[in-house]
Structure 1
Amino acid sequence: MTAIVWIRRSMRKHDNTALVQAAKEHDEVIPFYVVDENYFETADLGYPRVSFWHDSLKELKEILQRDGQDLVVRKGKPLEQLQKVIEETDADKVYYNRDYSPYARERDQKVENNLECEVESFKDLVMFEKREILTNSGDPYSVYSYYSKKWFKRDKRRPEKPEGFETPELESDEIPSLKELGFEKPEGTEVWEGGRENGLKRLENFKERIWDYDDRRDLASQDGTSKLSPHFKFGTVSIREAFWASERVKARNPNEDDSGIKTWQEELAWRDFYFQMIWNFPYTVDEPYLEKYGSIGWKSKEEAPERWEAWKEGKTGFPFVDAGMRQLKQTGWMHNRLRMVVTSFSSKDLWLDWRDVHEYFSKMFIDAEVSAMVGGIQWAYSIGTDAQPYFRVFNPISQGQSHDSDGEYIRRHVEELENVPEEYIHEPWKMPEQVQEEAGCIIGEDYPEPIVDHSEQREKAIKRFEEAKED
């Protein structure tokens, strides 16, 4: 009997739950991927993310072929292509790993309802899903700290290797090039290479630095984070592989302070938390979790075009914010501290609509995960689950001073400020004229004046939230 493993995001052979289970029950297994060209034509996607996906898909096919198997690729609509392969091979079962966004749920339900064979799905993207971790009264958690206590106490499955299987000979389309899909590399873009090999290298390198994660993760200029999120997004490395790798580091050094490891594992728990939030509260993709703030007066990008463009292009006049936005545009990634800072700035300083921010981030980030993106943006906007209290507003100047004290990160991404003295790097508008000339950076010409007065905007934001709260 023949099984089809419909691969979407778990772009790896090892510890791919659907593939592991199919190989246990079938001698013939068809790893199957559908390139939905219509999706690439209609979705607004940035080059770095599509390039990372392309690398990962190509490498998965190469790995399977190296092991005497194959990845069958077809172009078209998933349901139609799956049905064709079932007819061609008399496959009796389709396996796939679950996804949790409203779009994915609708797509997968359509396939399950219409395929003419048995379909089985599996938990793979996360440690714990849906309603596995609930409050004592049986409700989904909306506060992370309580959720995480149970997350850490639960037993966690270890990675599994699929048993040997054969892939029958079957017609397979070529994986289309990025150019064929309509993507050209923008000038000045630094592209991350995808694929499992790069993911495992990154994991291995991070294991050497995980002890210092607590101390270094917020330092913008340093390589203090794991940078594994794109690999989790496309499934080149599983969450189980990463978690148990960190546990092995801890076990080899039982007398060391493991607070850095625990803090990093908290990030994995946060990731699961946001996945269960979007499953249990799918409306948050379009509406605030805290519905009382739904019409608080955010301005769409059409209503505030100058502010939107300044924020998007990294030309707000606040160096730390601008460095973060330019890093995103240049690389498809942004340091996590900066993600909080630029999103708070778009909210409490510029009053830009969070939906536009989400749409832009979804296009630009390599690791754009709907659940984490919605959760993080709504947290910064003080409208989400476990949200940042509205009266706490990130100061874009002091954040830079705390997390990029010498301005190394700023100079790396905002070239106009490369020669600005350290004492002015976070507030360049305070430079005397002579210093501006010596630095080759005239404020208002080479680099913009601050687009807003942060202190004034902070007070206005707090007042708006208080008024909405009272209503």
Structure 2
Amino acid sequence: MTAIVWIRRSLREYDNTALVEASKKHDEVIPFYVVDDNYFKKASLGYPRVKFWHDALQNFKEKLGGEESKDLVVRKGKPLEELEKIVDEVDADAVYHNRDYTPYSRERDEKIEEGLNVPVKTFKDIVMSEKEEILTNSGTPYKVYTYYSKKWFKKEHRRPQDVEEYEVPDVESDEIPSLKELGFERPEDFEWNWDPSREGAKDRIEAFKDKIWNYDENRDYAWKDSTSKLSPHLKFGTVSIREVFWEAERMKARNPNDDTSGIKTWQEELAWRDFYMQVLWNWPESAERPFLEQYEEIEWRSKEEAKEDWKAFINGKTGYPFVDAGMRQLKKTGWMHNRLRMVVTSFACKDLWLDWKDLHEFFNENFVDAEIASMIGGIQWAYSIGTDAQPYFRVFNPFSQGEDYDPDGEYIRKWVPELEDVPDEHIHRPHEMNKLQQEDCGVEIGEDYPRPIVDHDEKRKTAIERFEEVRDED
């Protein structure tokens, strides 16, 4: 009895649900990965995400290959064709894989299930709750997170599971292509600060244990290193959602008298992730158009139409220091603090009126943790066009956001070095300095650092008017 376990996102052996279930029923199990060249050519991908995936995949193969009678078999080609070939090669009885929830994944997986001549068994793995497992009292999927999360926390959460003993038959495997072979090269001046291995994920968990207690108080402050940075590890499955959830539960159990609000707030992030996954599953059209139908007719500015503003925005040269710091952190490291994700997205919408789909594509190419469901959900939330979105009349002020969450300008100075010597009282609004003050801190506004490319107060008013016009027409 031989099973093929088609590995996709869960790049680990422990608590890999498809692998666990296959090992229970089969003595021979082949962990199998298909590098789909066409996907890398067609999808909006960037170096950070591909680099993380590549190194995580390489590490997974090395770890399995280091165990007796185990290996990760890699083939290059189209998934269906390569699965058909290996099923025939080893006379496999079944193909196992973990489910995914994006429109692309659903279409691909349907073709696999229809095309293979052996049973295809699928499993929930990358989330705690999926599809229509958590419903309203009237039996419909949730559109509002608050009510969804209450049921999410009450629902039983499966604990991590280990695989049972299995052997991998001797099967030919291709080499994992290099990044260069896949068409990706490291951008100039890019800082790579990630360890995409399984050990790297465990190190992240350990490093976060002291911070999680105050996560609710510290998570919004950009200058504090107070977040877990586990998102790319969850994206590519070097660690499972069950592992991190139950590690947090163990911390609560070991410290029953301590305030656990920080832990609960962090677990809420896992619930948000599941929420957006079920939104994308139940409303797949939201990947292409606003979740709130009344805003489908909004005419956003494309990046071609807003060429100069778009260029200033993505290069962190808008004249709004907090926004610019976030965008530069993203381009430099492939990651951005969560508070900044909200601020820059709100700025792209309410201040620059940029098309949300252009922003999504840009984020997709630059974020190391580009989780499609969460990214679409987050962008549409800030744009006031998504499920459970912030009201259109609530507009983040990019100046006051910086003053609130980076009060001394520490984050700004790190990522916008030309403002390094600007005093605290002007760090958030350097354009308000007079000539003498500019000379004293060695920065000429309009030359070394730009003036604000738009007037926020005017753009805020215009954005609200545009939203109200569309609502009135509906």
Short-chain TM bin:
over 0.9
Counterpart residue number, 2:90? 89
What is the CA deviation profile of residues 266-290 of structure 1, one whole-angstrom value per residue up to 9, with x for unaligned ones? Answer: 1000000000000000000000011
- Superposition map of 1:67-466 within 5 A: 67-68=67-68, 69-191=70-192, 192-466=194-468
Shift of 1:55: 0.9
Give the counterpart letter for 1:123 in structure 2: K
Contact 2:28-2:167 within 8 A present in 1 as well: yes
What is the CA deviation profile of residues 173-228 of structure 1, one whole-angstrom value per residue up to 9, with x for unaligned ones? Answer: 01111122122111211122312110111011111211010111011011111110
Give the counterpart letter for 1:347 in structure 2: C
Alpha-carbon distance in 2 for matches of 1:264, 1:41: 36
Shift of 1:465: 1.2
TM-score of the superposed pair, with normalisation by structure 1: 0.99
SS at match of 2:299: coil
Give the counterpart letter for 1:50 in structure 2: V
Alpha-carbon distance in 2 for matches of 1:295, 1:312: 25
Give the counterpart letter for 1:112 in structure 2: E
What is the CA deviation profile of residues 367-416 of structure 1, one whole-angstrom value per residue up to 9, with x for unaligned ones? Answer: 11110011000000000000001111000000000111111111111111
Shift of 1:146: 0.5
What is the CA deviation profile of residues 106-155 of structure 1, one whole-angstrom value per residue up to 9, with x for unaligned ones? Answer: 00000000011110000001000000000010000000000001001001
Give the counterpart letter for 2:187 in structure 1: P
SS at match of 1:30: strand
Counterpart residue number, 1:47? 47
Which one is further off, 179-188 or 157-166? Answer: 179-188
Give the counterpart letter for 1:4 in structure 2: I
Shift of 1:43: 2.4
Shift of 1:104: 0.4
Alpha-carbon distance in 1 for matches of 2:46, 2:166: 36
Alpha-carbon distance in 1 for matches of 2:320, 2:167: 57
Contact 2:222-2:339 within 8 A present in 1 as well: yes
What is the CA deviation profile of residues 348-385 of structure 1, one whole-angstrom value per residue up to 9, with x for unaligned ones? Answer: 00000001001111111111111001100000000000
SS at match of 2:32: strand
Shift of 1:437: 1.6
Alpha-carbon distance in 1 for matches of 2:387, 2:334: 26
Alpha-carbon distance in 2 for matches of 1:231, 1:222: 21
Shift of 1:44: 3.0
SS at match of 1:62: helix
Alpha-carbon distance in 1 for matches of 2:43, 2:461: 38
Contact 2:195-2:201 within 8 A present in 1 as well: no
Shift of 1:297: 2.2
Shift of 1:467: 1.6
For structure 1, list consecutive stretches of 5 or more residues without a partner in the other structure: none
Counterpart residue number, 2:34? 34
Shift of 1:345: 0.2
Deviating 4+ runs (over 4 angstroms): none
TM-score of the superposed pair, with normalisation by structure 2: 0.98
Alpha-carbon distance in 2 for matches of 1:315, 1:141: 39
Alpha-carbon distance in 2 for matches of 1:235, 1:116: 28
Give the counterpart letter for 1:23 in structure 2: S
For structure 2, list consecutive stretches of 5 or more residues without a partner in the other structure: none
What is the CA deviation profile of residues 145-172 of structure 1, one whole-angstrom value per residue up to 9, with x for unaligned ones? Answer: 0000100100100000001110000000
Alpha-carbon distance in 1 for matches of 2:369, 2:297: 29
Alpha-carbon distance in 2 for matches of 1:286, 1:44: 14
Question: What is the RMSD computed on CA atoms of the aligned residues?
Answer: 0.8
Shift of 1:62: 1.2
Which one is further off, 407-416 or 332-341? Answer: 407-416
Give the counterpart letter for 2:170 in structure 1: E
What is the CA deviation profile of residues 227-268 of structure 1, one whole-angstrom value per residue up to 9, with x for unaligned ones? Answer: 100001001110000000000011010000110011001100
Give the counterpart letter for 2:80 in structure 1: L
Alpha-carbon distance in 1 for matches of 2:410, 2:147: 37
Alpha-carbon distance in 1 for matches of 2:25, 2:67: 19
Alpha-carbon distance in 1 for matches of 2:419, 2:223: 15
Which one is further off, 53-62 or 431-440? Answer: 431-440
SS at match of 1:316: coil
SS at match of 2:104: helix
